[in-house]
Amino acid sequence: MPPFASNGRLRLLDIVFDAQTNGSRPLYSDGDLVSGRVVFKASGPLQLRAVRLAAHGAACVRCTGGQQQRYLHFDTCLLGGSEGTPLETLVMGHHELPFCFELPEGILASSFRGRYGDISYYVHVELQCQGRRTCSVQRQFFVVQHVDLSTPVLQSSVAAAGEKTVGIWKMSGPVSLSAKINRGGYCPGELLHIHAEVENCSSRLVIPQTSLCQKQTFLAHGRTLTYTHAVAAVRGESIPSGKREFWDGQPLPIPNVTPSVLDCNIIRVEYFLKVSVNIPGSTKLSVKLPLVLGTIPSQPCSSRTSSFSSQSRIALLQPLWTTLNLALRLQSLLPEPLEEPPSYSEVVTEDQRRLFLHRVELQEDANITCLPCPQEFFLQPPPLYSEVNRNPRTPVSNI
């Protein structure tokens, strides 16, 4: 819409978003509050019947008869509006009317402008002046539907390979190509590292190149239109006949483009990496690696680190658990421990000892020869401890 032109005493009419700072675009996501001010300037007293604000957003296909899918519709009155309400008289000068509304969650698609259609969101303000005069202005704001790249599918590597025979009869030979990227999801501003191998067994000079392509798909009344173009590209060195070239992490900067739009019924925006080999006098040999451009970078470190650390702890504790289980099993097979043998004082009482000494004195007085064995026996400690075999079937070691 062209900029507002002065009409009578109204010299300025504009919409200013609070999220619009330093000339940046007003950017929001689903569930956010869109707030701002309606700014107008009068060169003299101005009588207003109503000031209405409407917000609307839709996906629109402009080809094959047109198709539309509505995402947002909001209408409110900032000033006046009801029947019988007297006119509001504004004095000369600068005036502002604040507004605020909430975006719905889970149904919005990212703002996009394509070749045959677009997804756009607008705020429209209309001033109903005295009589039938109306003045209006419309400003666009932008919505980004966040795409999380932390899903396991987008963190997995993507690979493809192809081969083509070039030439005729004895001069023919194959040209083979294999390519791989580390994961299937990236964010604008990141470096996409390409791993590729090109083997030229033909008689021609070939040139490898790769490009990040955007594919726009438009659906309307059962018909489909697609438009594909490259948004970034990188080129390799020429490969002569009989040679091979490797790309070990060839970087490709991802430009600031619209994230993938996958949740709209009539407009889809997809991306893929096209690795190709230019062959003079023949068609290209190409492979395509699909990928998703999102807004939330992948976070594999936290989950993978925790998983790795837990697995490492389990691996370190596994030998200890095995040893403890084995010790418990062996302990259950061993016989019960035997009781300790009695001490000397428990076997020979003090009275028995005195009686024995008294008998020895009597024998010495009667000149009766007495072997020292009994005396030595009673004066010596108990015999050495030896285990008693409680299970006669199992012999006991003497050790």
Question: What's the number of domains the chain is made of?
Answer: 2
Give the model's pLDDT for residue 217: 96
Alpha carbon distance 16, 244 (integer Å):
58
Other C-beta atoms within 10 Å of 121: how many?
21
CATH number at residue 282: 2.60.40.640
pLDDT at position 360, please?
A: 67
Question: Which residues of the chain carry a pLDDT beneath 50?
Answer: 1-7, 301-330, 332-333, 370, 372-378, 398-399
Single-letter amino acid, residue 90: L
Do residue 119 and residue 19 come from a single domain? yes
Q: Are residues 134 and 204 in the same domain?
A: no
5 falls within a domain: no
CB 103 within 8 A of CB 27: no
Residues 123, 187 within the same domain: no
Residue that is last in its domain, among 299, 325, 349: 299
Please indicate, yes or no, if residue 397 is contained in any of the structural domains: no
Q: What is the sign of the dihedral through the CA atoms of 52, 57, 60 and 62?
A: positive
Structure tokens at 292: 């998703």
Q: What is the model's pLDDT at position 363?
A: 66
Residue 227 is assigned to a structural domain of this protein: yes
Paired with 65 in beta bridges are none
**388 token code pair:** 């008693």
Report the alpha-carbon distance of residue 36 to residue 17 in Å, rounded.
4
Domain boundary among 143, 169, 187: 143
The values of phi and psi at residue 34, to 5°, are -95, 115
Could you tell me if 229 and 94 lie in one domain? no
Same domain, 181 and 73: no
Alpha-carbon gap, residue 44 to 390, rounded angstroms: 119
Q: Are 117 and 18 within one domain?
A: yes
Is 286 in the same domain as 158?
yes
Query: Based on the domain organization, do 194 and 99 belong to the same domain?
Result: no
Q: Determine, yes or no, domain membership for 139.
A: yes
Same domain, yes or no, for 158 and 288? yes
- Contact criterion met (CB below 8 Å) for 101 and 55: yes
Query: CB atoms < 10 A from the CB of 46, how many?
Result: 23
Q: Which residue, among 224, 221, 251, 225, has the nearest Cα to 236 in the 3D structure?
A: 251
pLDDT of residue 379: 52
- Between CA 15 and CA 39 the distance in angstroms is 6
β-bridge pairing 10-17 and 33-42: antiparallel
| Inside any domain, residue 15 | yes
Domain that holds residue 172: 152-299
291 and 159 co-located in one domain: yes
List pLDDT tens digits, range 150-172.
889 999 999 999 999 887 765 67
Q: Strand, helix or coil at 317?
A: helix
Gap between the terminal Cα atoms of the chain? 105
Q: Look at residue 339 and tell me if it is in a domain.
A: no
> How many residues belong to the chain?
399
177 phi-psi bin (left φ>0, alpha ψ -120 to 50, beta other): beta
- Which SS3 state, helix, strand or coil, does residue 320 take? helix
Which of 124, 143, 162 lies at the terminal end of a domain, its last residue? Answer: 143
Written as six digits, the tokens of 80 are 């006046």
Instruction: Specify whether the CB–CB gap between 75 and 35 falls below 8 A.
Output: no
338, 387 Cβ separation under 8 angstroms: yes
- Check whether residue 267 and residue 177 sit in a common domain: yes
Q: Per the domain annotation, does 129 fall within a domain?
A: yes
Residue 40: closest CA among 79, 10, 64, 63 = 10
392 located within any domain: no
Same domain, 138 and 233: no
